[in-house]
A = this chain, B = another copy of it.
């Protein structure tokens, strides 16, 4: 069973940490009903990546898809996230895992920035 782990960096600000929960609700609406989904922070505060993976494994997930809520593909995504995912799965060799790429760059982000600034774009046809 596929399960989804949504990861952000983690912050000392509760509002920032609440964003990953908000995003998880949005992601859940795009997935088949009942798909297990959990959230985690890479750093600063729990739930950790190991916590989130533990929740998903307890629900029977054996195919993990990690969704990074990061704009850029820097050291966090290249090293830290894969390292923590590998460590959490070290004792679960039967679980397959794939880690998605950073959000940017992408045309969807360009459209969203314009929308946030009140600049309309041509409607897609």
Contact = CB atoms under 8 A, between A and B. Distances in A.
A113 B13 contact: no
Copies in the complex: 2
A19 interface: yes
A100 B113 contact: yes
Contacts of A118: 65, 98, 100
A125 to B, nearest CB: 13
25 contacts: A2-B119, A4-B117, A16-B72, A23-B104, A23-B109, A26-B110, A29-B110, A30-B110, A30-B121, A30-B122, A31-B121, A65-B117, A65-B118, A66-B117, A67-B113, A68-B113, A69-B109, A71-B103, A99-B117, A100-B113, A103-B109, A103-B116, A106-B112, A108-B112, A109-B112
A72 B8 CA distance: 11
Interface residues of A, number: 47
A93 interface: no
Q: Which of A74, A102, A108 has the most chain B CB atoms inside 10 A of its CB?
A: A108
A105 interface: yes
Interface in A66-121: 66-72, 74, 98-114, 116-119, 121
